[in-house]
Structure 1
C-alpha cells in the first residue's frame, strides 16, 4: 500500500471537507427557499387579487350563537378589528368568533380557501353572511372522499367562490382542543392545493427519516448490544409521536382513533420524549459505565419525570400545560450540565451531540411560543420543532457514528496499550517486527529490560505505584532513544518502548541502522536505570537485567523471539554484566520443565502424588500433638522429584492453587484415619499465591466441610507472608479463616521476606522458626542468639512457637529452655507415608514419643488471637 505524505493527505482532506460543505450549503439554501415559498402562497395584505380584514370577539362562556351575532346590533359591536395574526388566542375554555370581510378585486370569479392552521380543533364552523337579509349560510364541503376527509383533519379548511368585484363577509366560530393559537389564512384554491402538497412532502421526508433512523439503530443495537441505540430509538419514536400530535400528520399514517388518543395525551407523551433525551445523554456520554452520583441523579430524574407524567393525567389541560413548561427547563438544564461536564474533560469527540442541542433548544422554545400565540405564526415557526428535531437527529446520528468510531479507537487502544502504564503492549511490538520483515529488514534483535528484584519491590507497592515506576522508566529511556534511529518505532506516536505483562520493557534494535555496538547501548540503558527512583517516600536504586534475542538466529516467529529474549533475562541475572544473549542449548531445560509441568497436572488429576506426615511434638509433654503434611512425587519416569523443583514450577505455571486444593483434600482424608485412635491436629501448607486466588477461600472451605473435620483441628501454614502484607483482601481472608477456628501459622520465619515487622500486624497464631536456625543450635553462638531472641519475641506477641529441624537431644533441650512450644525434626521421625505414620503412632507410649517419657503434663495449644 502506498502512503501519501501527510501534507498531501491533509490538503486532500481539506479540499474534500470544503466540497462537502459547499454541497450542504447549496442543499440547505434550496430547502430554505422552498420552505419560505410556502408562506408566499397565501393572499398577502397588499394582494391585488383578494384582500381581507379581520375582527374578532371572545365567547368566554360559550353563550353566543350566529343568529344573535347577526341580528343583535349590540352584538355586532362586540367585534374588535385586528390583523389575522394579532387575534389574542389564549389557553382556556372560551371559543372565538372571527369576522372576515373578503374583497375580490378582480373581474373574475375567485375560488378561495379559508384555512385554520390547527389540526386539534374542537370545531370550525364558517358562515357566509347575507347583510341585506340579515341571515347566514353555513359553508360546508360536499361529502368528502376518505382522502379529502383526512386532509380536512390535517388541514381544517372551507372553500367557497367570490364573485367578480364583490365583497363577502364570513364569520368563523372556532375553538381548539389543544394549543390555543388558530391562524386563519386565505388562499386561492390552486395555491392551497400546492401548500398541502408541499407540507405533506415535508411530513413525508420527516417520517421517512425518523423510520429509517429507527430501523438502522435497531440493527446497530442487535449488532453491538449497546443500550444507547435502544434509548435513541425510544427518543425517535417519542419525538415522532409528539410531533404527529402537534402537526396533525398522524392522520396521514394512523387511524383517527389513534390520532385522537395522541391528541388527548400529547403532553403526557412530551414527558417521555424528555425522559428518553435525558437517558440518551447518560448513556451516550458513558455515565452508565462510571455509575457515579451524576448517573444516579440522572436515573432518579428520569423516574421522577415518569411519575410527574402520570400525575399530570389527573389535571386539566391548562394545569397540565403549566406544569410541563414549568419543570421541562429543569431537566433540560441538567442534561446540558452533564454534557458540558463531559466536554470539559475527555469527551471533546462528543461535539456533534452538543451541536444537536442547539436546534432542539431553538425549536423547543419557538414552537410553544407560536402555539401559545406569543410569536407570529409562519410555516417555519409553526413547524419549528419538527425542523429542529430533523436537524437534531441528524447531528445525533453523526454523534453516534463518532462515538462508535471513538469506541473502536478505544478498543484498539485497549488492545494496543497496557491499562496501568499506558505503554504499548506486546501486540504492537509484534506488529513492528512484522513490518520490518515485510520490508525486508531482517537483521534486528529484541531487547528486554527488567528492573532487578522488581518482583520483590512489587510486593511492597500497589499497582498505581508500580505503573508510575514503569512510566518514569519509560520516559527516561525514551529520552535516551529519541534521536536513535536504530530503536524501532512501535506506533505512529513515535513510541519505542513496549511493556510486557511480567514487569519487563522491550525494544527492537535495527542492527542495520545501529551505529554503536550493542554492549554500549545496553550499558547506557543500565546506567540510566541505575539512577535513584523514588516511589512515595521510598528511594530505590534500581539496576537492570537485559536479555537479547537476534532475528532470525534465535527465532523467526515473533513469539519465539520474545520468549527467547525473556529466557535470556533469566540467564542475565547470573552473569557479571547483567545482560545475556539467548542460548539455545538452555531451551532444552525449558522444554524439560514444560513437560514436567504437564506430568504434574496429570499427577494431580490422577491422584498419583503422595502425602507424607512428619510428627510435631509438644516439648512440655512429649506428646505427639500434630503432623505436618508434606507432598511427595515419585515420577513414573524420572523417579523421586524434590518439592523444591516441582512446587516453584507449579507456582510459575499457575498450577499451585490446584495442587494446594489437592493437598488439602488428601491430607484431610488421611487425617480422618489418624483421628480414629489419636487426638491431634493436622498442619497443611498454603502459599500467598493461594490466598490471593479468587476462589481459593470458597473451594478450600467446601473441601474442609466435606471432610467433616473441625476447623480447630487444622493448622494452615502460610508461606510468603510478605506477598499478602500489603493486600487488604488477603488480610481479610486470613482473618476470616482465623475467625472460623483455623490456626494460622507463619512458616519458615527468618528466611525470605518474613520479618517480625510482618508478624506484628498480621493475624497469625503460630510462628515456625526455620530449620537453619534450629539445626545444631548449640554449635554456633550467633545462631543460638538469633533462635533465642526469635522465640522470646514471638512469645511476647502471644504466639505459639514451632521449631523445625530438631535433630538431637541437645537441640530439643535448648529450644525448650528458650520457651519453644513444639518441636519437629529427624530426631523424632522423618516424613512417612500414611500407613507408616499410623504404625509409628501406634508404637508410641500413650501418645508420647519414646525419646523421653520422664516429663509430665498435657499439651495446651496457644490461645487464638
Structure 2
C-alpha cells in the first residue's frame, strides 16, 4: 500500500515536471517570435513613420504626396479606429552601410549576398481590404511594389499580407503605405528579414496546427462522450469549440489553410455573428455543465431568457452593417461575462471540488477574451502573444476543460454509485452495502458471523403522527449515535469504503454485521448498549419517549446462505422480538416456517387463487334454544406445496398488503355458497352460512355487483348469508364502508360484528353502525366461569347486544358449563370445540348426517330466529 502510494506521487510529480517543461518551452518560443520583429531596440535601424487619415477613402496618390498633414507617430502607435476610412503611412528606414558596424543578426542577414538587400513588411491582419506599398525615390515617381489582391496565388498572402522592401545602398529608404480594413481596426505593421519572416510563418503555422489538433481531439472526445452518456452538455461544448474554431480561423486568417476563398469570405462576412454563437454556446454549456437545470436555481430560468435575448440580437445583427454589428456585440460582451462569472462563482461557493477545473479554465479564457479585443481595437500594444491571446487562451482553456470534463464524468459515476449505495432522502448507506459485505464473507469461506437488525420500538406507529423530515432526522441521529458506539469495535465490520458500519433498511430499521470470532463482549451486553443508544435519541418533536429498539439476530446458516435471506431472517427475528421481555431474539428455522418471504408468499397466493388451491372448513353454529345446527362459519385453509399448512394469520395480512384480498374473498364467497347449495340438497337442512369479510372488501368499487352475481348463480337466498366483519377495523369513520354495509343489508345479507371486545369500536360506534349480529370473542367465552371478570364482561356484552336488538353469537364454547352459562345470559348461538372443531366440507357433511334432524344431543325446545333488520339511524 505504501509503495503504491509512493509510486502514485512519483508519477504525478514526473507528469507535472513534463507539463511545466512544455509550458516553459512554449513561452520561450512565443518570446522568440516577438524578438524576430525588427525595431530600434534589437537592431541598428532607425524607423520613422507618420500617418494621414483619409476619411473620404478617395484621395489620390498625388494629393497624398503633396499633403503636409501627416502626423508623426511610431509605426504601431497609429490610432486606428472602428470606422470606414483609409490610412496613409509614410515609412522612413535608416540603416548603416559600413560592414564594420554590423552587430546584429538582422543586419547580417540583409547585408550578405549579392547586394540585393530586402526586408519584409508584414501586415498582421488577414481581413485587409486595401494594402498597397509604394517605394519613394526623390529622382523618380513612386513605384508600386505591392498590392493585396482578392485572390492571391500565394496562400500566405491571404493569411499575413506582406511586401518585399528593397533597401538601397545609400542607408535610407522611404515607402508610402495605404491600408484599409473591413474587420478589427488595429493593423500591426511588422518588419522582418526574409529568413526571420519564414521562421515566423513556420512557427505560426505550427501553433495553429497544434490549436486545430487540440480542438479536433476535444471535439471527437466530447462526441464519444455524448453517444455514451446522451448528455447534451457535450454537444454544447462541441458547438462552442466549432464556434471558437470558425472565429479564430477568420480573425487570424489561418482558415485559408483549410477552406476555400468562398468559405473564408463567408466567415469574414459573418465574423460578428460567430462571436454571438460563441458566447451563446458558452453560456448554455456553463448552465448545463454546472447543472443549474438540476438545481432548479432561479438563475437557470433568467440565464435562458438572457440567452434568448442574445440569440435574437445576434440574428438581428445580420441585418446591420459590419461596423454597427461590432459595436452591438462589444457593448453586450461585458454583460455576458458578468452573467457567466456569477454562475461560476455561485457554483464554486457551493461546491469547490465540483467547479474548480471549470473555474480555472475560465481564467485564461477571460484573460484572452479581454486582451485580444483591446489589441484589435488598438487599446493595447500589439505583440504576437497579445495579438493571439484568444487563440492561446482557447488552447489553455481546452486543456483545463479536459480535466473539468474528466472530473464531471468521475462525479457522475460517483453520483450513480452513491444513488446505488446511499438513500437519497436520508443519505444513509443502503442495504446493497450490507449485501455486498455478506456475499464477500461467504465467498471468503467465513461462516462465523451474525447479521443484526435494529428496529426502533413502535416507530411504525409514531411515524403516522410526524412528517417525513422528522423521520429522516430521527434515523440520522440514531445512525450517528450507533456509529460512534461501534467506531472502535472491530467485531462490527465495515460495509463501505468510507468505513461505515450501518445500513438503512426500507422497513425503517438499521442493520450491521458482526464477526463473532472478534466479538469479545457478551451478546446481551452488546445488544443492551444498542438499545440504550437508541433510547438516548428517541426524541420526537422534543418529546422524550421511553422507547428503545427491537433487535433481531440471524447467524450464518447453510440453509440460508444468501445475504438477502440472512437480512430477512434478522428482520423476522426483530419483529418477533416485540413479543419478548428483553426486546431481542435470535432467528430460528421455526420462525422461517411460520414467516416465509412475503413476496414469495404473495406470488404463491396469487397462483393458489387461480388454481383454487385453497380449501374451506366449516365449524357448526348451534341454536342454544333448540340445540339444532343453525349454520356454519366458513374458514379458509391453505396447504402450501412446500411449506405445508400456512396459518390464515400469516397469509391473510399478506393478501391484504399485496391487494389480493378482493380476489380471495370472492373465491371464498362463491365456494361457500356453492357448498351451501350442495349441503341443502344432500341434508335437507336449510341453515345459515357465515363468511368472513375484510374491511378492504367494503371499499372495492364493484364489490356489491360481484356479490350479487355470485348469489344469483348459486341459487342461495341472501337471507341465508351472514358476513362477519372484524371489529379490528373501525368502519364508523368510513362512509364508503357504511354505504356498502347498508347495500348488503338491502340485499338481505345479515351483517355480523366479529371478535367483539378485542377491537377499537366503542359502544357508541356500535350503536351507530348497521350491524344485525354481534359475535363475542372467544377470549371472554372460554372457561367463562373460571374468572369472575370474564364472566361479568361476557354477561354485559350479551345484555348490551340484546338491548340493541342484535342477535348474539358466542364463539369459544368448549364445555357444557360454558354453554349453559351463555344460555343463561341470553346468548342465541354457540360455536366452539364443545360441538365440533372446524372440518372439511366432506367431513362436515358426514357430521351433519349423523345428527338426528340436525339436532345435537340434549336438545331443548325452541328454534333459530334471525334477528330483525336494525335501523342504521
1:135-534 alignment runs, 5 A limit: 135-139=142-146, 146=153, 148=154, 150-433=155-438, 436=441, 442-531=447-536, 533-534=538-539
Query: Which shifted more, 508-517 or 113-122?
Result: 508-517
The answer to whether the 8 A contact 2:367-2:393 is kept is yes
Q: Give the match for residue 116 of structure 2.
A: 109
C-alpha distance after superposition, 1:676-732 (max 9, x if no partner): xxxxxxx996759x99xxxxxxxx98xx7xx9989xx9xxxxxxxxxxxxxxxxxxx
**Structure 2 SS opposite 1:128:** strand
Q: Give the match for residue 39 of structure 1.
A: 34
The answer to whether the 8 A contact 1:371-1:382 is kept is yes
Distance 1:390 1:597 in 2: 62
The answer to whether the 8 A contact 1:141-1:159 is kept is no
Distance 1:228 1:785 in 2: 59
Question: Which of these residues, 23, 43, 48, is aligned with residue 53 of structure 1?
Answer: 48
Distance 1:665 1:270 in 2: 75
Q: Note the C-alpha offset of 1:408.
A: 1.7
Q: Give the match for residue 57 of structure 2.
A: 62
C-alpha distance after superposition, 1:232-261 (max 9, x if no partner): 111111111111121111111111111111
Distance 1:95 1:665 in 2: 99
Please list every run of 5 or more consecutive structure 2 residues that lacks an aligned counterpart in the other structure: 98-110, 618-633, 671-691, 710-723, 743-749, 777-795, 812-827, 832-840, 842-863
C-alpha distance after superposition, 1:310-337 (max 9, x if no partner): 1222222222222212222222212211
Distance 1:248 1:594 in 2: 71
Q: Give the match for residue 819 of structure 2.
A: none
Q: Note the C-alpha offset of 1:643.
A: 5.9
Q: Give the match for residue 26 of structure 1.
A: 21
Size of the aligned set, in residue pairs, is: 736
Q: Give the match for residue 560 of structure 1.
A: 565
- Tell me: CA distance 1:414–1:33, structure 2 relative to 1, closer, same or farther (3 Å): same
Q: Give the match for residue 593 of structure 2.
A: 588
The answer to whether the 8 A contact 1:121-1:178 is kept is yes
Q: Note the C-alpha offset of 1:92.
A: 0.6
The answer to whether the 8 A contact 1:549-1:565 is kept is yes
- Tell me: CA distance 1:185–1:472, structure 2 relative to 1, closer, same or farther (3 Å): same
The answer to whether the 8 A contact 1:251-1:259 is kept is yes
- Tell me: CA distance 1:594–1:40, structure 2 relative to 1, closer, same or farther (3 Å): closer
- Tell me: CA distance 1:651–1:814, structure 2 relative to 1, closer, same or farther (3 Å): closer
Q: Give the match for residue 90 of structure 2.
A: 99
- Tell me: CA distance 1:574–1:686, structure 2 relative to 1, closer, same or farther (3 Å): closer
Distance 1:554 1:776 in 2: 39
Distance 1:636 1:549 in 2: 25
C-alpha distance after superposition, 1:513-562 (max 9, x if no partner): 22221122112222332346222254433232222222356744433332
**Structure 2 SS opposite 1:90:** coil
Distance 1:408 1:776 in 2: 56
Q: Note the C-alpha offset of 1:21.
A: 2.6
Distance 1:221 1:631 in 2: 62
C-alpha distance after superposition, 1:81-125 (max 9, x if no partner): 110111000011111111112345346431221111111111212
- Tell me: CA distance 1:34–1:764, structure 2 relative to 1, closer, same or farther (3 Å): farther
Query: Which shifted more, 443-452 or 53-62?
Result: 443-452
Q: Note the C-alpha offset of 1:651.
A: 4.5
Determine if the alignment matches structure 1 residue 77 to structure 2 residue 68. yes
The answer to whether the 8 A contact 1:447-1:546 is kept is yes
- Tell me: CA distance 1:786–1:172, structure 2 relative to 1, closer, same or farther (3 Å): closer
Q: Note the C-alpha offset of 1:196.
A: 0.9
The answer to whether the 8 A contact 2:805-2:867 is kept is no
- Tell me: CA distance 1:286–1:666, structure 2 relative to 1, closer, same or farther (3 Å): farther
C-alpha distance after superposition, 1:760-785 (max 9, x if no partner): 9x99876979x9995798xxxx9999
- Tell me: CA distance 1:114–1:500, structure 2 relative to 1, closer, same or farther (3 Å): same
C-alpha distance after superposition, 1:326-384 (max 9, x if no partner): 22222221221122122212343320101111111111110000000000111100100
Q: Note the C-alpha offset of 1:62.
A: 1.2
Q: Give the match for residue 120 of structure 1.
A: 127
Distance 1:269 1:98 in 2: 32
**Structure 2 SS opposite 1:573:** helix
Q: Note the C-alpha offset of 1:175.
A: 0.7
Q: Give the match for residue 547 of structure 1.
A: 552
The answer to whether the 8 A contact 1:275-1:306 is kept is yes
Distance 2:326 2:463 in 1: 64
Distance 2:206 2:610 in 1: 74
C-alpha distance after superposition, 1:617-665 (max 9, x if no partner): xxxxxxxxxxxxx99788797999886543312355xxx2365479799
**Structure 1 SS opposite 2:659:** helix
Q: Give the TM-score of the pair, scaled to structure 1.
A: 0.75
Question: Which of these residues, 719, 725, 728, is aligned with residue 751 of structure 1?
Answer: 728
Distance 1:774 1:768 in 2: 11
The answer to whether the 8 A contact 1:554-1:582 is kept is no
Q: Give the match for residue 81 of structure 2.
A: 90
Q: CA RMSD in A?
A: 4.6
- Tell me: CA distance 1:24–1:566, structure 2 relative to 1, closer, same or farther (3 Å): same
**Structure 2 SS opposite 1:344:** helix
The answer to whether the 8 A contact 1:120-1:248 is kept is yes
Distance 1:536 1:133 in 2: 103
Determine if the alignment matches structure 1 residue 132 to structure 2 residue 132. no
C-alpha distance after superposition, 1:15-34 (max 9, x if no partner): 44443333222211110010
Please list every run of 5 or more consecutive structure 1 residues that lacks an aligned counterpart in the other structure: 613-629, 669-682, 692-699, 714-746, 834-849
Distance 1:315 1:84 in 2: 32
Distance 2:124 2:43 in 1: 24
- Tell me: CA distance 1:448–1:585, structure 2 relative to 1, closer, same or farther (3 Å): same
Question: Which of these residues, 646, 657, 660, is aligned with residue 659 of structure 2?
Answer: 657
1:626-641 alignment runs, 5 A limit: none
**Structure 2 SS opposite 1:137:** strand
